[in-house]
């Protein structure tokens, strides 16, 4: 999850290499941003299960380290692991 919403890369973004039994992922970290993700995670707080949150920086960020710091601060309370 990046601080701000991000559309990701243009489609097609996933390529299957059948001869190699592999997949290439070029999604580009498409997501709805911290606020949307936190709203969903807060709604499920207290339920059982393992929750992982993948945090990242926006592609056009001028403070990539800060983006990661904000992600850790915002999602640590909801996640089993980051």
- pLDDT tens by residue, 12-64: 999 999 999 999 999 999 999 999 999 999 999 889 999 999 999 999 999 99
More confident: 72 or 45: 72
Q: Where are the domains of the chain?
A: 14-75
Using the structure block, give the residue that is written with the tokens 């997501």.
31
**C-beta separation of 54 from 27 below 8 A:** no
12 — alpha (psi -120 to 50), left (phi > 0) or beta? Answer: beta
Is the pLDDT score of 11 beyond 90? yes
Using the structure block, give the residue that is written with the tokens 């983006």.
67
Q: Look up the pTM and report it.
A: 0.84
**C-beta separation of 58 from 8 below 8 A:** no
């Amino acid at each position: 999850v990046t601080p701000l919403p991000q559309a990701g890369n243009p489609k097609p973004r996933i390529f299957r290499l059948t001869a190699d039994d592999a997949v290439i992922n070029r999604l580009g970290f498409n997501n709805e941003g911290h606020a949307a993700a936190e709203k969903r995670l807060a709604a499920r707080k207290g339920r059982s299960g393992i929750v992982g949150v993948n945090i990242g920086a926006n592609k056009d960020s001028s403070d990539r380290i800060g983006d990661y710091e904000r992600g850790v601060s915002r999602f640590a309370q909801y996640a089993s692991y980051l």
